[in-house]
Amino acid sequence: MLKSENLIPRPLEEKDWSGRGEHAEFGPNEWSKILDILPVEGLLGNSATAIVESVRCRRVLLARKTVRCNRRMKRTDALKEVQHLKKFKYSHIVQVVGTYTFKQDLAILLYPAAEYNLETFMESIITESPCQEGSPDQEKVKPKLRALTTFFGCLAHTIHFLHYNATKHMDIKPKNLLIKDMRYGSSSPYGRYKIYIADFGITRSYKRAADAETDSPTPFTRMYAAPEVVDQRKRGLSADIFSLGCVFAEMLAVLSGSDRESKREDLLAVASSNQDSPRSY
């Protein structure tokens, strides 16, 4: 399947992380071999169909997304995420390092393995924020607050890049926005923290932007879903903009010192009241 979709590069272009090429196929008795190549550092998250762990490969920390392929999640569906990530080479989009199969599972190795997602990053700001002006803890929070102000432009440009390439992400939310602490790597023009868009599992690409206007049922996260998505009406690229606007509202709430949980309730109320209102972008 990988070969048929041109997802395996030519030998000179391969990231041969496994010694078997960019894509490796491990036999049912080779789990110990996988552990030798990719020792597990920790759990990053999980869902009904996948588990995400941090693994170390030749001194580089990667995220490994292992998709449980079965009748609910077919390998052809899991490969769609690889297709999208291979297609887009952009500074603020996670990159595929390699893939492998083990029994019925498909594992995707991604760079970077981030310390935060945007949700945990904002929660850390709220938790660490000093109660009094001039507190010693204030210096600890300042780099995160400065980074949060830069994320607006980074995210807007990255969504513009996807839409320019007739692609809608369809699941923009803080948990799918990863933040890497660049202090431990090489010097970065992005400052202490860099944000990445991740989780392209339900992303869709089209030949042209006009084709992105669809009305077929799709999964969504209620908190960040545009009204037309919730109602399963015709929707297009603008639905990503609505989701991004919800994320921006949360970021602004944190920057202004507002309580994030009360802001969640406000956003849900606004989204609910706007469901029957026409919108244009």
Per-residue pLDDT of the chain (281 residues; tens, 9 = 90+): 777 767 666 655 668 899 888 999 999 999 999 999 999 999 998 888 889 999 999 889 999 999 988 877 777 878 888 888 888 889 999 999 999 999 989 999 999 999 999 999 999 998 887 654 555 566 678 899 999 999 999 999 999 999 999 898 989 999 999 999 987 655 556 678 999 999 888 777 777 777 677 777 777 788 998 888 888 888 888 999 999 999 999 999 999 885 555 555 555 555 555 444 444 33
Structure-token pair, residue 49: 């169909």
CATH number, span 116-273: 1.10.510.10
Domain residue ranges of the chain, discontinuous segments joined by +: 11-111, 116-273
Backbone angles phi, psi at 30, to 5 degrees: -110, 25
Spatial contact of 235 and 214, defined as CB atoms under 8 Å apart: yes
30's CB contacts (< 8 A; 6+ apart) are 102
Q: At what angle do helices 138-164 and 238-255 cross, to 10 degrees?
A: 170
Q: What is the CATH code of the structural domain delimited by 11-111?
A: 3.30.200.20
Q: What pLDDT was estimated at residue 14? A: 64
Reference 166, options 203, 217, 122; nearest CA is 203
State the Cα–Cα distance between residues 4 and 186, nearest whole angstrom.
37
pTM for the predicted model, two decimal places: 0.80
223 within 8 A of 247, measured Cβ to Cβ: no
Number of neighbours of residue 262 by Cβ within 10 angstroms: 10
Where do the H-state alpha helices sit in 21-117? 31-37, 75-87
Which amino acid is it at 219?
Answer: P
DSSP per position, 8-25: S--GGG---SSSS-SEEE
